[in-house]
Amino acid sequence: MTMQRPHRYRPLARDPAEDWWRGAAIYQVYVRSFRDTNGDGIGDLCGVIEGLDHIASLGVDAIWLSPIYKSPQVDFGYDITDYRLIDPIFGTMEDFLTLLDATHQRGLKLLMDFIPCHTSDQHPWFRESRQSRDNPKADWYVWADRSVDGTAPNNWLSSFGGTAWEWDPRRAQYYYHPFLVQQPALNLHNDEVLDHLLSEMRFWTDAGVDGFRVDAAQCLTWDRDLRSNPPFGRGDPNAFIGGGPTNPFAAQSHIFDRKAEGIDRVLRHFRRFADDTDCIFVGEISDIDSAAAAPEFTEEGRKLHAVYDFGLINCHPDVDSITAQLTRREELLGNGWIYNVFTNHDSTRAVSNLTYFAVDEYRVEAAKMLLFMQMTLKGGCVIYQGEELGLPHPKLEFEQIVDPWAKAFWPTFEGRDGARTPFPWTDGKIGGFSDADPWLPMPDVHLPLNAKAQGDDPHSVMSFVRAFTRWRKDQAVLLLGAEIMSRAERAPIITWRRVWGDRTLRIIVNFSTDMAFMPLDPEWQLVDAPGCATQRSDHGVGLGPLGFAIAEER
């Protein structure tokens, strides 16, 4: 008997051409580091407004803003004290509404970063919850009695280091925090909590927001029996690697504190809300086997619209590993949907992470190649600010680090600050980011790669992005088509097909700094697309270092 692969052949619930988000290119704005207009060294909403023309020029479809809500900023906005207020360091509600209008006037959508799994410990909800075991919000967070020996209820660990439980003397109980101790977990098994979160989202959709990036969607629920996680087997490929090799979080198989019972119920609530308000949800998933989880999170028409994960970010940068990752993802995804990312604000920048061998001599080619892959794999893509410039990951000293995760695991883990340094607009002292010392240093290596210089250079990474995104908008096969991974006939090629209607494209990538050759039968003709090789021989196509091509079956 042949085992049928799950999900793969289930028909779509609607015409995918109706959905703008499927093949969208989304530009991620890390607001703190984008542009500072008030001279405090921290990026703000007015800075995003000033940068909108740059974003629109890239040919993207939407922008996603990092958290701008009121927050103590212990985790730089991912610890919220009020979901409906703008933190003063970023500006005012008037600034936000001006930005929203300006975004829509340029034909772009705007997505906000929403954090439903936890709040700040300074949030009024938590302040009330911790006062007693019988107040109206007593069950709004995850509380548990101590074990018989006084220790934590189970062995769950924070991905930021140490136990995920904190003793609170006021309630004489432990509360759960999957990340920092200042980020207590909300209890989404409680319908009242879930309804309140949806009300907070509705406040923003009523204002005109087009959707949300859902932070840490794997943490939406937890095992109500509080069972301890089993250990990972030695060398298990699913072990979490964040925090470096010394993070004990990687020793556990997180089956009871990640993607746990009740998550389907929460995701279906989110989707009903999205359908009612005409917004979209893009979920971030990590800490788990994301390739297997993606279809579960994006069940067609019933759960999140799409997810993005760390599978490619964490993949070893060689042809075999990346091909295997993409093949497994294609086999499992079915009619689920995914956004392709090679980096974000929590990871090493792509040219330093995925092509460590090419950062110096071949940085431009490497950056173009990775962006090309993002925009030709099935799904949409998220372009993190600075990737359109091909920025390498800078080296920061410990004294420059502000990330609490990095401080906990230094020096085996350098943290997230290297991806969060200020955006270089010009080659000035601070790259045109601010008139004051920025909250993180401006790397010297980034100054020559600034946006102004690249805008004037037709061969720059930024010029490639502008040209390719515009060409891609007219290619339904790339926006909506199915994906079939192939094993190249010879390394170091990575290749796959995209199929939509009567069109079939073959994507060909030379994932090396050597010359490469891809044999092609005569019926495959090269497509004249920006940045792509367009000359073929009788036998196939030759590719330069980190070169790429698209062929169409005629």
Catalytic residues, by residue number, are 215, 284
Q: What are 301's two structure tokens? A: 């028409």
Q: What are 208's two structure tokens? A: 């005109």
Nearest 10 degrees: CA dihedral of 537, 533, 354, 304? -110
Q: What strands lie across the sheet with 143-144, from one edge to the other? A: 143-144, 173-176, 165-168
Contacts of residue 275, Cβ cutoff 8 Å, sequence gap at least 6: none
Determine the Cα–Cα distance for residues 529 and 396; give it in Å rounded to an integer: 38
Query: Cβ-count burial of 324 within 10 angstroms (0-12 exposed, 13-18 middle, 19+ buried)?
Result: middle
Q: Is 378 within 8 Å of 294 (Cβ atoms)?
A: no
Q: Is 306 within 8 Å of 338 (Cβ atoms)?
A: yes
Q: What are 229's two structure tokens? A: 């996680």
Q: Are strands 306-309 and 338-340 parallel, antiparallel or unpaired?
A: parallel
- Phi then psi dihedrals of residue 537, to 5 deg: -100, -175
Q: Are strands 25-29 and 380-384 parallel, antiparallel or unpaired?
A: parallel
Rounded to an integer, what is the distance from CA 306 to the centroid of its chain?
A: 11
Determine the Cα–Cα distance for residues 87 and 67; give it in Å rounded to an integer: 9
Rounded to an integer, what is the distance from CA 519 to the centroid of its chain?
A: 35
Q: Is 146 within 8 Å of 174 (Cβ atoms)?
A: yes
Q: What are 378's two structure tokens? A: 């099935």
Provide the 10 A C-beta neighbour count for residue 34. 24
- The phi-psi region of residue 509 (left if phi > 0; otherwise alpha if psi is between -120 and 50; otherwise beta) is beta
Cross-strand pairs, 393: none
Determine the Cα–Cα distance for residues 177 and 183; give it in Å rounded to an integer: 6
Q: Is 496 within 8 Å of 509 (Cβ atoms)?
A: no
166 sits in which H/E element: strand 165-168
- Phi then psi dihedrals of residue 316, to 5 deg: -65, 135
Contacts of residue 211, Cβ cutoff 8 Å, sequence gap at least 6: 21, 62, 109, 111, 112, 274, 279, 280, 281, 282, 305
Q: Is 166 within 8 Å of 141 (Cβ atoms)?
A: no
Q: What is the largest CA-CA distance in the chain?
A: 78
Q: How far is CA 299 from CA 6, 23, 29, 174, 363, in A?
A: 11, 17, 28, 35, 38
- Phi then psi dihedrals of residue 466, to 5 deg: -60, -45
Contacts of residue 237, Cβ cutoff 8 Å, sequence gap at least 6: none
